[in-house]
A and B are shown apart, each in its own frame.
Chain A
Amino acid sequence: ETGVTQTPRHLVMGMTNKKSLKCEQHLGHNAMYWYKQSAKKPLELMFVYNFKEQTENNSVPSRFSPECPNSSHLFLHLHTLQPEDSALYLCASSPTPRQIYGYTFGSGTRLTVV
């Protein structure tokens, strides 16, 4: 399989649940990103990882906890979310963080918090 794969595609969770989103890239890229896409709002960068090290946390609430065990895998652990956290969560990768033309996005996880 090639590209950036995200699982699950859809997730419904209660505000007291704990769940995780998974992202895997088969492109040999070294940088990985989490973005949030809400209706009628621009994509919001959440986290940046470069060679497994977090290089950017864009003031994201602590109820979102990223994990990057290696350059190919990225997780987003979720706990005690709010209804306003319902959105499409997109993972992306690029060869390096500087190569802004080299972003490849996954298809996203549609999250609904009830």
Chain B
Amino acid sequence: QSALTQPPSASGSPGQSVTISCTGTSSDVGAYNYVSWYQQHPGKVPKLMISEVSKRPSGVPDRFSGSKSGNTASLTVSGLQADDEADYYCSSYAGSNVFVFGTGTKVTVL
């Protein structure tokens, strides 16, 4: 049950795109299409942005998109806005009622 690997930081200017990777193994990310992404602003509760690799819950802007290839999932934020500056975490089902989170990525809007 090792944490999924994310880059510690990512950045972009307003209007640009940023992509965050989430690397797991063939036992978690590679095995199941239950990859989720969460946004967390400082001092706030995490918010679900993407579930099942690429599905956006109601209310999440279509600027947020998810994908997966092999053991690596990705979150892309297009048209960066100031409010997108936050920590982002991926998560994956790992079988047998076990989940795992990623190490987290701090996104900075320059």
The judgment on whether A and B are partners is no
